[in-house]
Amino acid sequence: MYTLIVNGSPRKNGDTAALIRAFCRELPGKCEVLSVCEEKTAPCLDCRRCHTRRGCALCDGMEDFWPKLRQAGLLVFASPIYYGQPSGQLLSWATRLQYAFVSETIRRDPDFSLGRRLGAVLLAAGGGTKDPEPALRTMRMLMRECGAEYAGFAAAMQTDRLPAREDAEALSGVSRLAETLAARLEAEQFPR
Ligand X SMILES: Cc1cc2nc3c(=O)[nH]c(=O)nc-3n(C[C@H](O)[C@H](O)[C@H](O)COP(=O)(O)O)c2cc1C
Show contacts with ligand X in window 14-33 (CB under 6 A): 14-16
Residues 64-103: x where in contact with ligand X by CB under 6 A, - otherwise, as a string: ----------------xxxxx-------------------
Buried b (16+ CB within 10 A) or exposed e, 114-146: bebbbbbbbbbbeeebeebeebbebbbebbebb
Residues 101-130: x where in contact with ligand X by CB under 6 A, - otherwise, as a string: -----------------------xxxxxx-
CB of 14 vs ligand X, minimal distance in Å = 2
CB of 188 vs ligand X, minimal distance in Å = 30
Q: Is 12 in the site for ligand X (CB under 6 A)?
A: no
Q: Secondary structure of 51-114 in the HEC alphabet?
A: HCCCCCCCCCCHHHHHHHHHHCCEEEEEEEEECCEECHHHHHHHHHHHHHHHHHHHCCCCCCCC
Tell me which residues touch ligand X (CB under 6 A).
Answer: 9, 11, 14-16, 80-84, 124-129, 159
